[in-house]
């Protein structure tokens, strides 16, 4: 038993911009669930009423899949991302990015003065083989230090070659903690789609965090306090 009291549901890429399943799930426990949606990339296709509907349902951010959608040769679609950010800024939302930060050595410069907070999934999705000195990963750490970004401590099995306890990506874990522990959140990454190695067990992943983050107060920050801020849980319980 994981004893999870609250959770954040993230719209999977396979559903595209059809958020209906996630919204239906959010309605089951409105005080305990939050959501991250996927919306059309063209601002003219997004109505204010739709954004307000998502917000009322518990959505607090939007997700952009750069890994599977964007053309790497064309660089980051930064203008589109800024336009989306400006649309969600009045709601206090964040922009979650699924991207390999190691592929963008100028990451910190590109996102300098970005309109909203950024959230990077899977420790920045940079494979452990690239190390912590990689320019893109260093850019992520800079954004963390400057409180321009958050990092989701999710999917360690996705960014290393070994099985549990995923020892070769531990340095990435330590690096983000050192950069800014107040900007980190943990997630199970359930239901672990597209896993090509041994399927992880959520309880093992939870225990892994305990072995990597020994300080009890820091664990509480990552598991409780930080997500309350990022996903606006505190406002519900006040």
**Which residues contact residue 158 at a Cβ distance below 8 angstroms, ignoring those fewer than 6 apart?**
122, 125, 189, 195
Specify if 7 maps to a domain: no
Is 119 contained in some domain? yes
Residue 2 placed within a domain: no
Q: Is residue 172 a part of any domain in this protein?
A: yes
Q: What is the pLDDT of residue 186?
A: 97
Q: How many domains does the chain have?
A: 1
What long-range pairs does 15-20 form, CB within 8 A, spacing at least 24?
19/54, 19/59
User: pLDDT per residue over 158-173, tens digit each?
Assistant: 999 989 999 999 999 9
Residue 146 within any structural domain of the chain: yes
Q: Which of 184, 228, 187 is nearest to 205 (CA)?
A: 187
pLDDT less than 50: residues of the chain: 235-238
Residue-number span of the structural domain to which 137 is assigned: 64-237
Q: Classify residue 14: in a domain, yes or no.
A: no
For the CA atoms of 154, 157, 161, 165, the dihedral, rounded to the nearest 10 degrees, stands at: 100
Q: Is the separation of the CB atoms in 30 and 234 below 8 Å?
A: no
> What per-residue confidence (pLDDT) applies to 71?
63
What positions carry a catalytic annotation? Answer: 189
The answer to whether residue 30 sits within a structural domain is: no
Rounded to whole angstroms, how far apart are CA atoms 126 and 233? 29
CATH code of the domain in which 157 resides: 3.20.20.140
111 lies in a domain? yes
């Amino acid at each position: 038993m994981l004893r999870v009291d609250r959770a954040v549901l993230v719209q999977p890429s396979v559903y595209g911009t059809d958020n209906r399943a996630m919204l239906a799930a959010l309605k089951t426990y409105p005080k305990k669930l939050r959501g991250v949606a996927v919306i059309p990339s063209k601002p003219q296709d997004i109505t204010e009423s739709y954004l307000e509907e998502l917000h009322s349902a518990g959505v607090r951010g939007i997700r952009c899949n750069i890994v599977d959608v964007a053309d790497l040769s064309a660089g980051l679609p930064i203008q589109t991302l800024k336009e989306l950010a400006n649309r969600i800024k009045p709601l206090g939302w964040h922009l979650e990015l699924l991207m390999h930060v190691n592929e963008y050595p100028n990451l910190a410069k590109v996102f300098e003065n970005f309109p909203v907070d950024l959230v990077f999934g899977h420790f920045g999705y940079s494979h452990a083989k690239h190390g912590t000195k990689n320019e893109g990963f260093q850019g992520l750490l800079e954004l963390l230090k400057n409180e321009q970004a958050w990092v989701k401590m999710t999917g360690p099995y996705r960014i290393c070659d070994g099985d549990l306890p995923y020892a070769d990506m531990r340095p990435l874990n330590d690096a983000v903690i050192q950069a800014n522990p107040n900007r980190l959140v943990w997630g199970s990454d359930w239901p672990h789609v597209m896993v090509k190695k041994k399927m992880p067990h959520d309880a093992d992943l939870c225990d892994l965090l305990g072995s990597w983050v020994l300080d009890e107060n820091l664990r509480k920050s990552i598991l409780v306090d930080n997500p309350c801020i990022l996903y606006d849980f505190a406002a519900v319980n006040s």
